[in-house]
Amino acid sequence: MKTSEIFDALLDNLKVGDASTTIAARRDEITKALNKNFRAKDGSTDHKLMVGSYGRYTAIRSISDLDMIYILPAGLRATYDGETGPMRVLERVRDTLQARYRTTDIRVDQCVVRVQFTNFKFEVQPTFENDDSFDYPDTVAKRWKVTKPRDEISETRACNQRTSNNMRRLARMTRAWKNTNGVNMGGLLIDTLVHRFFANNDDYDTADTDSYDVMARDFFEFLATEPDKEYYLALGSHQRVKVKAQFQPKAKKAYNRCLEAIENEGKAAANKKWREVFGTSVPLKATESAFNFKDTEQFIENWFPVDIGETLTINCQVAQSGWRPASLRDMLRTGSLLLPNKDLDFTITECSVPRPYQVKWKVLNRGAEAERRNKIRGQIIGSNRPNESLHEHTQFRGDHLVECYIVKDGILVARDLVEVPISANGA
């Protein structure tokens, strides 16, 4: 496939699409309920503003968190002043929406009221409007703080127009990379970094999709070489955006995969490499195998909406009778060979997701030997050992992989994978 065909298909597959209709309907229902309570107005959908990725038009189809501002009547400022004001106004919003959605999980969460629908949740933030900003409640600080989402929306629009729509397109592609590779980055940080990339590089201001391969390469090189920071200043508003976890190491991997994809342009290998970067929204090119095997791989994206916002790290202990157990990551780092007939125990070593949650695993065998033996595997499975761990046994040559997923409230929020290169044939 041509480069333009790959990226045209990717962008088309990332569109929010039909979900926009459901999102708009939920948004208006929420607004009507709040307007009836706070303004005694029936059927009104005024006094709302969609913010976040959806409001900046950088969201993708797997979006699960919808950020919404509800503008309170100015005359109520004095009513919700003082230390108890933030909690009282959030509780009023919660109770109003709970009366509208009696069987829905609705709760106060510091600065917002979370409304958990089946496939996504709304985070509703009551605010008082100022000339160029909004005051929002914070129950931890016990005071009202300032946010400027309209400045962020405006600067996103301006940058997108200046770059021939490439700013929003690259922001969506970056979200696909984040969700595919388990990168814990918020949407505002992504848009801010994409904005910085275009502010320092005008090579792609008028680029078409036939140049998106090199644009992606250069963007991931830009990310990989960014210094470690605790925060960035958001595009437009210049408010602090926290860096939740390092993104540079995974950006470096993405950069290297871009190089491999570009080197294999026009071949099936290029599609596979772009899929490693951006996920299943990248189409595969049909290939022929020397072996008749059944492709049994399943994809977590077909099971749950994906919106990575937490950190997960897994590791693997390699053991064999008569040998001291060793970390697979350490073995790969030092160049040690992983041979067949080894026992592998995969465990979660870091997880920032608060319980309760579900743990899922996938073991995928790749390469000619897996195809010859008709043992691709790749099904989504549960843990087979205590403490949500997974036990496996190496059998034959190939670049296999094991991936772990954390699902909370029906949404995939964290993932990590370990590549398992087995270097010699076994029984």
**Taking the domains of the chain in order of start, what are their residue ranges?**
3-12+154-253, 19-151, 288-422
pLDDT confidence bin for 288, thresholds 50/70/90? low
Would you identify the CATH topology of the domain 19-151? Answer: Beta Polymerase; domain 2 (3.30.460)
User: Residue 135 above 60 pLDDT?
Assistant: yes
Structure tokens at 255: 């950069």
Of 61-70, 353-362, 384-393, 415-424, least confident by mean pLDDT is 415-424
Q: Measured between alpha carbons, how far is 104 from 97 in angstroms, rounded to an integer?
A: 9
CB of 163 within 8 A of CB of 174?
A: no
User: Residue 210 above 60 pLDDT?
Assistant: yes
Q: Measured between alpha carbons, how far is 83 from 294 in angstroms, rounded to an integer?
A: 63
pLDDT value for 369: 83
Q: What angle do CA 260, 263, 264 make, to 5 degrees?
A: 90
What residues contact 302, with CB distance under 8 A and at least 6 apart?
none
pLDDT value for 415: 98
Which is higher by pLDDT, 322 or 407? 407
Of 232-236, 322-326, 355-359, least confident by mean pLDDT is 322-326
> Residue 240 forms beta bridges with which residues?
233
pLDDT confidence bin for 321, thresholds 50/70/90? low
Torsion sign over Cα 168, 172, 178, 181: negative
pLDDT confidence bin for 372, thresholds 50/70/90? confident
Q: Is the peptide bond before 137 cis (omega within 30 degrees of 0)?
A: no
For tokens 């009202």, name the residue: 144
Judge residue 313's burial from the number of C-beta atoms within 10 Å of its C-beta, 0-12 exposed, 13-18 middle, 19 or more buried: middle
pTM of the model: 0.93
Taking only the tens place, the pLDDT of each residue in 82-107 is: 999 999 999 999 999 999 999 999 99
In single-letter form, the type of residue at position 326 comes to A
DSSP notation for 63-86: --EEEEEEE--GGGTGGG-STTHH
Q: What angle do CA 252, 256, 261 make, to 5 degrees?
A: 140
pLDDT confidence bin for 18, thresholds 50/70/90? confident
Q: Is 366 helix (H, G, I), strand (E, B) or coil?
A: coil
Which is higher by pLDDT, 366 or 46? 46
Average pLDDT over the chain reads 93
pLDDT value for 19: 86
Q: Is 402 helix (H, G, I), strand (E, B) or coil?
A: strand
User: Residue 426 above 80 pLDDT?
Assistant: no
pLDDT value for 290: 60
pLDDT value for 78: 97
- Which secondary-structure segment (H or E) carries 1? none
User: What is the rounded radius of gyration, in angstroms, for the C-alpha atoms of the chain?
Assistant: 24
pLDDT value for 333: 82
pLDDT confidence bin for 427, thresholds 50/70/90? very low
Q: Which residues of 336-367 are buried (b: 16+ CB within 10 A; e: fewer)?
A: eebeeebebbbbbeebebeeebebbbbbbbbe
> Residue 137 forms beta bridges with which residues?
144
Torsion sign over Cα 19, 23, 24, 29: positive
pLDDT value for 371: 85
pLDDT value for 259: 98
Would you identify the CATH topology of the domain 288-422? Answer: Immunoglobulin-like (2.60.40)
pLDDT value for 391: 94
Closest CA to 174 of 10, 17, 50: 10
pLDDT value for 422: 78
Taking only the tens place, the pLDDT of each residue in 235-254 is: 999 999 999 999 999 999 99
Q: Measured between alpha carbons, how far is 281 from 33 in angstroms, rounded to an integer?
A: 37
Closest CA to 211 of 258, 159, 148: 258
pLDDT value for 331: 81
